[in-house]
């Protein structure tokens, strides 16, 4: 019974459960008051409604479980992984937008150089893999995507 | 059937180096072309492998000789086809990016979707063909004709299940029109597309379905399916024994055309050039045999006829949608 | 018949045809291994070759691409944790774990053998018992499909490690994501948040590649970054060689070891063949169901998710076993049951053949040739796989700092190329972000994909059933549907009892 005495507020999963409940509640409110076309035997809202209810119940269970000592351990590197995610996703958006404006091969080569340089210690000393290889890879991808598959991206300013 | 080594090498080369290498060789035959060097892209708002794709590919194979540049078919089915339409709308007005579509993504979407263009922003360049929506059923079904269907519905409203692809699409609107005209009611069963409609009809899970003639012609001929009627003014070439609804006494006709569109700010000269070279290409024996093989029934018409048809369809679809309360 | 067969043999075994099959497989494996790109896309790309090539050569090329692509998706799944195709997602679960434990070669070979085994059986079924199986497939109407989809939700528990509640929530989230866009029955917009581009809904490839692959890449980049800042990477270790030390010889899969996986492979093959023959169900669903069933019936079910070779074999066999049977509705009724079948249908039409039962009668030489190609292409696939795999295993050991940026860029442009869609790229990146968040907070990803695949089909089938039947009891009007429900109930009872006994 000692586990019952645990303070759930100390555990991440307690809050994860609360967030799940909140999200599901928002969704259910949207279905109840939002612009949904309802009224048929089974309308378009039925499946989302069931899904929200499932999430809400699961959230309740996840929160409750922390009280009896069942929870997932908090991952140490949460902040750094999330930071990486934000950087990479914005990098991806930038890369894709620039590829159609600046030119596919140039953008790609630059992106690959930047990427491998950031991950390499003393990038200049390893110029073969941080400069030469990215350029080669960009050229190969140019042949694959632009010449062979012919993706309909605009040509862009440069090559 | 054995292939010579030379052809084999050439074919391998075309395959490996991208089908690119082939058609570029045919350029420079047209000195006074208003088009630049880049490829012409025929953008289709559907996935690859369907009727529009295959019809457009007839031009890929035949038109470079007459138009100059290489011709690519680009399939963009994203956002229910809207992405294709927007892609063409946002492209440069140089006649290199054209839209090949039936009326769904351009006429119907123009009414019901939140789009930044209006129907007048588009000009047809030419028309490939008119597809005639056809009602069909399983060979053993008790309904044998349009009359049987109407009788059954009059005896017991809502007693017939009717499968059709996406709501408000080219094989659903004719049914709505028919119901508006007659006051009859069916149970509408939307499906994910022609294939699902067909397995539901063949598996006898529903009574009737609607599709385009080419996809059932062979089965109607060998007797596994029977076609009841066609929503058009004239009978379909591949289904010569199937009456039109007009013949049966119902004035409902809503053919689904397949047209090539350009933005209206593409220079008139360019549009005319494209129309001429496409029509020329489609008149070649190669194009005709491809059209026969694919059952595409290509019967090209120029931009004036197409424009008239386009505006008629806009009006007609608009009035149906208003009637059923989809738009104000 | 005999004459047709000899004609077909001489067509199919022509050296040029063989060459095209090999070329197709090479292309397929390579493109399939790139996240986002799949065999389907490559087939669509090379469809025009039917204008230039002899029918047998063109079919050989397309069949080669298809088979190569099926297996190629698993290569990147196993080596980088980044499934190249939707069908390879289930293979990735255990395949990547095995690689992390230093057994990429073993996992790759298991995948190759089970892929070829599943594929070959499925082709033989297409050739010899297409018609009876097609008749069963036609019996699947909305009622039966709903039962199948409901049954497959049972697998959530097989796909979840840790808290089942989180697995259920992930699955529900997948269902919600799949509901975005136009309601397939009524046509009204749902959950598009006023963004017109979302009207068409989210496509499978960007969601799947984003959730599985991009999130994996992000986690790996984060690790590589941390390693760099902690100066763990020693320069001396890098030397001039790009490859770190990896001893391929220590990581072999003797064929008799693979034979021990016969049960998992057989489950995958059976499930995949059946699901493949159903129009619209798809190879990713087949792979997940095979994986779930194999786990249920395995003696070491606990090993699943931790690098189990049974997991790899069942998922990969299930995925590949759809490849022959997906053509069954096309041959029997002219119904394209999948995107791939639609493309093969288009190829037949472009060659002047109408898909359907008449095709076999009217063009027996070409169709028999196709059958022969389907079977021997598997052997070519096996051979080329055997030759290429050592290199792929080695490639998986290339330093992440070089590889990660390349794979990330490939995923972005590969996804774009698959649908030529900007929206798909944004969805890909968004799904990547979502995948990272879910990983960090202990949610399993596979149930989300299951929900995403099953959701729309289940909803459509249920609402169609209610429209046709008018009342809920209609759902129990079919023996096939009742069979699914009874089996599901039986499985639940059986395993709760087993669990209780263990405890």
Element (H, E) at B75: strand B71-75
Measure the CA–CA gap between C291 and C288, rounded to whole angstroms.
5
Interface of C with A in 13-42 (CB under 8 A): 37, 41
Which residues in chain B have Cβ-Cβ distances shorter than 8 Å to A41? none
Q: Are A114 and A98 in contact (CB under 8 A)?
A: no
Chain C: partners with 3+ C-beta pairs within 8 Å? A, B
Element (H, E) at B194: helix B194-202
* Non-local CB neighbours of A12 within 8 Å, separated by 6+ positions: A71, A72, A74, C441
The three-class DSSP label of residue B258 is: strand
Q: Are C77 and C92 in contact (CB under 8 A)?
A: yes
Phi-psi region of C81 (alpha: psi -120 to 50; beta: other; left: phi over 0): left
CB atoms near residue C362 (< 10 Å): 14
Q: Phi, psi at residue C91, to the nearest 5°?
A: -60, -35
Measure the CA–CA gap between B201 and C88, rounded to whole angstroms.
33
pLDDT at position A6, please?
Answer: 63
Bridge partners of residue B244, in order along the sequence: B230
Phi-psi region of C282 (alpha: psi -120 to 50; beta: other; left: phi over 0): left
Distances (CA, A) of B225 to B138, B213, C178, C328: 5, 12, 34, 19
Instruction: Note the maximum CA span of chain B.
Output: 69
The three-class DSSP label of residue C74 is: helix
Confirm or reject contact between A152 and chain B (CB < 8 A): yes
Measure the CA–CA gap between C329 and C43, rounded to whole angstroms.
19
Task: Please name which of C462, C450, C476, C478 lies closest in space to residue C185, comparing C-alpha atoms.
Answer: C462
* Non-local CB neighbours of A73 within 8 Å, separated by 6+ positions: none
What is the least distance, in Å, from the CA of C432 to any CA of chain A? 8
Which residues in chain B have Cβ-Cβ distances shorter than 8 Å to C342? 47-50, 195
Task: Please name which of B51, B91, B75, B89 lies closest in space to residue C416, comparing C-alpha atoms.
Answer: B75
Interchain contact, C203 vs B78, CB within 8 Å: yes
The gap between the terminal CA atoms of chain C, to the nearest Å, is 61
Question: pLDDT for A116-147, tens place per residue?
Answer: 999 888 888 888 888 999 999 999 999 989 88
Query: What dihedral do alpha carbons A23, A27, A29, A31 form, nearest 10°?
Result: -170
Element (H, E) at B263: strand B256-263
**Mean pLDDT computed over B75-96:** 89
Bridge partners of residue B229, in order along the sequence: B135
Tokens of B48: 């690859």
Question: pLDDT for B259-294, tens place per residue?
Answer: 999 999 999 999 999 999 999 999 999 888 888 877
Task: Please name which of A103, A108, C84 lies closest in space to residue A116, comparing C-alpha atoms.
Answer: A108
Q: Are B67 and B281 in contact (CB under 8 A)?
A: yes
Question: pLDDT for B203-229, tens place per residue?
Answer: 999 999 999 988 888 889 889 999 999
Q: Are B273 and B94 in contact (CB under 8 A)?
A: no
Measure the CA–CA gap between C201 and C455, rounded to whole angstroms.
13
What is the least distance, in Å, from the CA of C338 to any CA of chain A? 22
Element (H, E) at C268: helix C262-277
The three-class DSSP label of residue A157 is: coil
- Between strands B134-138 and B225-230, the pairing is antiparallel
Measure the CA–CA gap between C163 and C250, rounded to whole angstroms.
36
Bridge partners of residue B100, in order along the sequence: B260
CB atoms near residue B110 (< 10 Å): 20
Confidence of residue A40 (pLDDT cuts 50, 70, 90): low
Residue of chain B whose Cα is closest to the Cα of C465: B189
Element (H, E) at B261: strand B256-263
Phi-psi region of C54 (alpha: psi -120 to 50; beta: other; left: phi over 0): beta
Task: Please name which of A48, A44, A42 lies closest in space to residue A29, comparing C-alpha atoms.
Answer: A48
Distances (CA, A) of A105 to A135, C409, C417: 8, 12, 15
Task: Please name which of B35, B40, B20 lies closest in space to residue B99, comparing C-alpha atoms.
Answer: B40
Task: Please name which of C120, C140, C85, C119 lies closest in space to residue C329, comparing C-alpha atoms.
Answer: C140
Which residues in chain C have Cβ-Cβ distances shorter than 8 Å to A151? 413, 416-417, 420
pLDDT at position C282, please?
Answer: 83
Q: What is the pLDDT along chain C (503 residues), one digit of tens a residue?
A: 677 788 888 888 899 999 999 999 999 998 888 888 888 888 988 888 887 788 899 999 999 999 999 999 999 899 888 888 888 999 999 999 998 888 888 899 999 999 999 999 999 999 988 888 888 888 999 999 999 999 988 888 888 878 889 999 999 999 999 999 988 888 888 998 888 888 889 998 999 999 999 999 999 999 888 887 765 544 444 443 444 555 556 677 788 888 889 999 999 999 999 999 888 778 899 999 999 999 888 888 888 888 999 999 999 999 999 999 999 988 888 888 888 998 998 888 888 888 887 788 788 888 889 999 999 999 999 999 999 888 887 777 778 888 899 999 999 999 999 888 889 999 999 999 999 999 999 999 999 999 999 999 999 999 999 999 988 999 999 999 999 999 989 888 887 777 666 65
Chain B: partners with 3+ C-beta pairs within 8 Å? A, C
Burial class (CB in 10 A: 0-12, 13-18, 19+), C236: exposed
Residue B22 has pLDDT above 70, yes or no: no
Instruction: Report the residue count for chain B.
Output: 328
Task: Please name which of B104, B295, B169 lies closest in space to residue C345, comparing C-alpha atoms.
Answer: B295
What is the least distance, in Å, from the CA of A51 to any CA of chain C? 5
Q: What is the DSSP string of B218-241?
A: HHHHHTSEEEEEESSSS--TT-TT
- B-C C-beta contacts closer than 8 Å: 187
Instruction: Note the maximum CA span of chain A.
Output: 70
Task: Please name which of C483, C448, C469 lies closest in space to residue C177, comparing C-alpha atoms.
Answer: C448
* Non-local CB neighbours of B4 within 8 Å, separated by 6+ positions: none
Interface of C with B in 380-419 (CB under 8 A): 419
Measure the CA–CA gap between A62 and C163, rounded to whole angstroms.
8
The three-class DSSP label of residue A47 is: helix
* Non-local CB neighbours of B275 within 8 Å, separated by 6+ positions: B125, B126, B302, B303
What is the least distance, in Å, from the CA of B238 to any CA of chain C? 13
Q: What is the DSSP string of B115-135?
A: -S--GGGEEEEEEEEEE--EE
Interchain contact, C242 vs A129, CB within 8 Å: yes
Measure the CA–CA gap between A89 and A92, rounded to whole angstroms.
5
Which residues in chain C have Cβ-Cβ distances shorter than 8 Å to B72? none
The three-class DSSP label of residue B186 is: coil
Measure the CA–CA gap between C283 and C70, rounded to whole angstroms.
9
Tokens of B104: 């769904």
């Amino acid at each position: 019974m000692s586990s019952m005495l645990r303070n759930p507020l100390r555990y991440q999963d307690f809050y994860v459960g609360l967030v799940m409940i909140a999200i599901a509640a928002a969704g259910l409110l949207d279905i109840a008051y939002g612009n949904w076309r309802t009224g048929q035997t089974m309308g378009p809202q039925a499946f989302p409604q069931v899904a929200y209810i499932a999430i809400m119940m699961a959230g309740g269970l996840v929160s409750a479980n922390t009280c009896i000592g069942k929870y997932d351990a908090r991952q140490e590197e949460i902040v750094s992984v999330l930071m990486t995610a934000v950087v990479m996703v914005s990098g991806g958006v930038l890369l894709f937008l620039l590829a159609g404006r600046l030119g596919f091969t140039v953008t790609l080569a630059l992106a690959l150089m930047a990427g491998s340089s950031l991950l390499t210690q003393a990038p200049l000393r390893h110029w073969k893999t941080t400069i030469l290889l990215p350029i080669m890879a960009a050229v190969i991808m140019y042949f694959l995507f632009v010449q062979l598959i012919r993706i309909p991206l605009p040509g862009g300013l440069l090559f | 059937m054995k292939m010579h080594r030379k052809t084999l090498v050439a074919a391998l080369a075309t395959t490996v180096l991208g089908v690119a290498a082939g058609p570029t060789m045919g350029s420079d035959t047209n000195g006074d072309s208003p088009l630049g060097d880049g490829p012409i892209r025929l953008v289709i708002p559907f996935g690859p492998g369907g009727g529009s794709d295959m019809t457009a590919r007839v031009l890929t194979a035949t038109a470079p000789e007459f138009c100059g540049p290489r011709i690519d078919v680009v399939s963009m089915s994203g956002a229910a086809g809207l992405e294709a339409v927007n892609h063409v709308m946002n492209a440069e007005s140089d006649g290199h990016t054209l839209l090949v579509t039936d009326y769904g993504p351009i006429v119907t979407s123009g009414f019901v979707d939140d789009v930044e263009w209006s129907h007048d922003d588009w000009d047809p360049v030419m028309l490939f063909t008119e597809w005639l929506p056809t009602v069909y059923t399983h060979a053993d079904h008790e309904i044998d004709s349009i009359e049987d269907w109407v009788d059954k519905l009059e005896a017991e409203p809502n007693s017939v299940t009717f499968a059709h692809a996406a709501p408000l699409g080219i094989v659903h609107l004719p049914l709505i029109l028919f119901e508006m005209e007659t006051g009859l009611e069916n149970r509408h069963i939307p499906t994910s597309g022609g294939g699902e409609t067909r397995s539901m009809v063949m598996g006898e899970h529903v009574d009737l379905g609607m599709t385009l003639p080419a996809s059932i012609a062979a089965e109607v001929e060998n007797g596994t399916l029977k076609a009841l009627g066609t929503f058009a003014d004239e009978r379909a070439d591949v289904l010569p024994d199937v009456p039109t609804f007009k013949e049966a006494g119902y004035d409902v006709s809503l053919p689904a055309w397949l047209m090539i569109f350009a933005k209206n700010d593409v220079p008139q000269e360019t549009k005319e050039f494209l129309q001429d070279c496409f029509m020329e290409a489609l008149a070649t024996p190669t194009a005709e045999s491809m059209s026969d093989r694919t059952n595409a029934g290509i019967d090209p018409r120029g931009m004036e006829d197409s424009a008239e048809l386009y505006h008629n369809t806009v009006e007609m679809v608009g009035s149906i949608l208003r009637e059923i309360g989809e738009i104000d | 018949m005999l004459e047709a067969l000899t004609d077909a043999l001489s067509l199919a075994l022509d050296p040029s045809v063989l060459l095209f099959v090999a070329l197709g497989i090479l292309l397929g494996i390579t493109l399939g291994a790139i996240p986002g790109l799949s065999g389907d896309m490559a087939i669509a790309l090379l469809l025009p070759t039917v204008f230039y090539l002899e029918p047998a050569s063109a079919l050989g090329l397309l069949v080669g691409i298809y088979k190569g692509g099926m297996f190629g998706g698993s290569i990147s799944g196993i080596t980088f944790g980044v499934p190249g195709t939707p069908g390879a997602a289930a293979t990735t679960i255990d395949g990547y774990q095995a690689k992390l434990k230093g057994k990429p070669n073993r996992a790759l070979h298991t995948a190759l053998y089970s892929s070829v085994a599943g594929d070959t059986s499925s082709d033989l079924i297409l050739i010899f018992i297409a018609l009876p199986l097609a008749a069963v497939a036609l019996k699947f109407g909305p009622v039966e499909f709903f039962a199948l989809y409901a049954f497959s939700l049972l697998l959530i528990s097989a796909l979840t490690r840790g808290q089942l509640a989180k697995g259920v929530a992930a699955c529900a989230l997948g269902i919600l994501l799949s509901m975005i866009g136009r309601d397939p029955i009524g046509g009204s917009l749902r959950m598009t948040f006023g963004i017109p581009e979302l009207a068409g809904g989210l496509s499978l490839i960007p969601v799947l590649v984003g959730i599985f692959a991009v999130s994996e890449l992000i986690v790996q980049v984060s690790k590589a970054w941390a390693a760099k800042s902690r100066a763990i990477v020693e320069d001396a270790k890098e030397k001039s060689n790009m490859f770190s030390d990896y001893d391929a010889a220590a990581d072999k899969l003797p064929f008799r070891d693979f034979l021990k996986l016969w049960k998992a492979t057989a489950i995958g093959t059976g499930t995949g063949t059946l699901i493949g023959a159903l129009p619209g169900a798809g190879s990713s669903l087949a792979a997940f169901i095979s994986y779930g069933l194999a786990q249920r019936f395995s003696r070491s079910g606990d090993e699943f998710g931790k690098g189990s070779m049974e997991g790899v074999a069942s998922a990969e066999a299930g995925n590949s076993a759809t490849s022959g049977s997906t053509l069954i509705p096309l041959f029997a009724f002219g119904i394209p049951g999948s995107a791939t079948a639609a493309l093969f249908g288009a190829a037949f039409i472009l060659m002047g053949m109408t898909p359907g039962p008449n095709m076999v009668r009217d063009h027996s030489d070409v169709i028999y040739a196709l059958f022969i190609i389907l079977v021997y292409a598997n052997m070519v696939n096996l051979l080329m796989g055997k030759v290429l795999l050592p290199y792929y295993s080695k490639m998986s050991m290339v330093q992440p700092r070089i590889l990660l940026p390349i794979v990330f860029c490939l995923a972005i442009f590969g996804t774009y190329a698959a649908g030529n869609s900007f929206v798909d790229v944004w969805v890909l990146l968004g799904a990547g972000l979502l995948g990272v968040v879910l990983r960090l907070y202990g949610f399993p990803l596979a149930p989300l994909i299951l929900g995403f695949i099953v959701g729309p089909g289940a909803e459509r089938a249920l609402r169609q059933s209610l429209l046709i039947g008018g009342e809920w009891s209609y759902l129990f009007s079919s023996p096939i549907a009742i069979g699914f429900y009874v089996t599901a109930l039986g499985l639940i009872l059986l395993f709760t009892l087993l669990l209780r006994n263990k405890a």
